[in-house]
């Protein structure tokens, strides 16, 4: 059994490397120090408005923190979400030294299995098949993401020709992530300029759950009013009378979008050169129980820079959740 696992890992690693891409579907070729350092975006120190403001669009009104001005020190952030290829190298190196630790770091591939969805191919192939080597890793929990960052720190610090002499790789703090997501556009609610989620050609700007107008319908329900009496109210439901909706991959709109995740270099980067800061997978924050960015299965609201989502436990896993890392300079 162990030999079979090693063969799978080795075959996948032929396509892996922390490197820059010429094309979003290009496979990884192997670890390269220079390419890895080029895949880090420098984020200068600065201050920004964190939270809702008077200029925000009307529906952006619910927050669990007050509006405030926040300052962050300079740091570097990975231009890309951590992909399957990177995580497989992490697993492969663990397997050589500690089988039990290796097993504890395996992603939960069953996150793809759910009722009424034919996702069995993803259960079997998404993590290890070379075709998905540059897709974001999912099914990992908070502790596994943290452990990856610890491993990456040791791996990088063991490189004698490294550019940065004393650093640590970590999950981003919420304030770091939001500052980086804004991409030098402090007043923009998304990682791109403006409030639209499509460009002038009608193409979507991120991989998210685009709800087609034909799948939204009105329904009548009875709700309690302030006097605790039931009264009739109208609500809007997503799913249509036939019980379906359109994801970004099935809607009749322009642009190349996916019905699940997409390669980590999809769409245009923001002002700091960061890809998929909105959509694709929601990303773990260093603050436990919190993610930013929204996912392929979230509606546009969750792609707003300041909006975050919560997850239940440190062992929680999801096909919508992944992570990227930051590099902090040690003083």
What is the DSSP-derived secondary structure letter of residue 81? P
Q: CA separation (Å) from 195 to 72, 117, 306?
A: 25, 32, 14
Contacts of 42 (CB under 8 A, 6+ apart): 74, 76, 272
Q: Of residues 214 and 259, which shows the higher confidence score? A: 259
Q: Tokens 């959740």 belong to which residue?
A: 321
Question: Domain tally for the chain?
Answer: 2
> DSSP 3-state assignment of 6?
helix
Query: How confident is the model at residue 117, as a pLDDT?
Result: 77
pLDDT digits (tens, 9 = 90+) for 76-105: 999 999 999 999 999 999 999 999 999 999
Domain closes at, from 245, 263, 296? 245
Query: How confident is the model at residue 304, as a pLDDT?
Result: 95
Task: Check which CATH number belongs to the domain holding 110 and give it.
Answer: 3.90.1580.10
Contacts of 114 (CB under 8 A, 6+ apart): none
Question: Are 19 and 161 in the same domain?
Answer: yes
Question: Are 241 and 192 in the same domain?
Answer: no
Query: How confident is the model at residue 68, as a pLDDT?
Result: 82
Mean pLDDT of 179-185: 96
CA angle, 64 then 67 then 68, to 5°: 125
Q: Tokens 């809007």 belong to which residue?
A: 236
Question: Are 267 and 230 in the same domain?
Answer: no
Question: Are 177 and 62 in the same domain?
Answer: yes
Q: How confident is the model at residue 25 (pLDDT cuts 50, 70, 90)?
A: low
By the 8 A CB rule, do 315 and 111 touch? no
Question: Are 189 and 162 in the same domain?
Answer: yes
Query: How confident is the model at residue 30, as a pLDDT?
Result: 67
Question: Are 231 and 323 in the same domain?
Answer: no
pLDDT digits (tens, 9 = 90+) for 36-47: 999 999 999 999
By the 8 A CB rule, do 91 and 105 touch? yes
Distance spanning both ends of the chain, measured CA to CA: 45
Name the burial class of residue 171, with classes exposed (0-12), middle (13-18) and buried (19+) by CB atoms within 10 angstroms of its CB. buried
Question: Are 274 and 235 in the same domain?
Answer: no
Question: Are 180 and 142 in the same domain?
Answer: yes
Mean pLDDT of 117-129: 92
Mean pLDDT of 156-171: 97
Question: Are 121 and 218 in the same domain?
Answer: no
pTM, entire model: 0.83
Q: How many CB atoms lie within 10 A of CB 313?
A: 10
Domain closes at, from 191, 226, 245? 245
Mean pLDDT of 243-260: 50
Q: Name which of 94, 92, 88, 78 is nearest 19 in CA terms.
A: 78
Question: Are 230 and 181 in the same domain?
Answer: no
Domain that holds residue 53: 2-202+253-329
Question: Are 215 and 194 in the same domain?
Answer: no
Q: How many residues does the chain have?
A: 331
Q: How many CB atoms lie within 10 A of CB 98?
A: 12
Query: How confident is the model at residue 266, as a pLDDT?
Result: 95
Question: Are 150 and 49 in the same domain?
Answer: yes
């Amino acid at each position: 059994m162990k030999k079979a696992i090693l063969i799978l890992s080795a075959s996948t690693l032929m396509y892996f490397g922390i490197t820059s891409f010429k094309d979003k579907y290009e496979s990884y070729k192997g670890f390269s120090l220079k390419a890895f350092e080029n895949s880090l975006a420098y984020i200068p120190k600065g201050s920004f408005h964190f939270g809702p403001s008077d200029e925000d669009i009307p529906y952006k009104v619910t927050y669990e923190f007050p509006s405030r001005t926040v300052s962050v020190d300079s740091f570097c952030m990975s231009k890309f979400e951590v992909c399957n290829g990177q995580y497989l190298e992490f697993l492969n190196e663990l397997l050589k030294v500690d089988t039990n630790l290796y097993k504890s770091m395996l992603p939960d591939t069953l996150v793809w299995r759910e009722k009424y969805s034919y996702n069995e191919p993803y259960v079997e192939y998404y993590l290890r098949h070379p075709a998905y080597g540059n897709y974001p890793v999912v099914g990992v929990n908070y502790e596994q993401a943290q452990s990856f960052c610890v491993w990456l720190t040791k791996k990088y610090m063991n490189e004698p020709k490294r550019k940065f002499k004393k650093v640590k790789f970590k999950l981003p703090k919420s304030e770091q992530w939001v500052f980086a997501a804004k991409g030098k556009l402090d007043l923009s609610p998304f990682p791109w300029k403006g409030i639209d989620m499509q460009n002038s050609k009608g193409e979507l700007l991120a991989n998210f759950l685009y709800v087609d107008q034909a799948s939204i319908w009105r329904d009548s329900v009875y709700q309690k009013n302030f006097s605790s009496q039931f009264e009739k109210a109208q609500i809007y439901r997503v799913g249509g009378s036939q019980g379906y909706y359109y994801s970004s991959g099935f809607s009749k709109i322009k642009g190349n979008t996916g019905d699940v995740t997409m390669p980590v270099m999809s769409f245009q980067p923001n002002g700091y050169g960061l890809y998929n800061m909105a959509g694709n997978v929601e990303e773990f924050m260093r603050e436990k129980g919190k993610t930013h960015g929204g996912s392929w299965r979230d509606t546009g609201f969750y792609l707003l820079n300041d909006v975050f989502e919560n997850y239940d436990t440190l062992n929680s896993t999801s096909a919508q959740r992944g992570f990227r890392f930051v590099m902090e300079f040690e003083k």
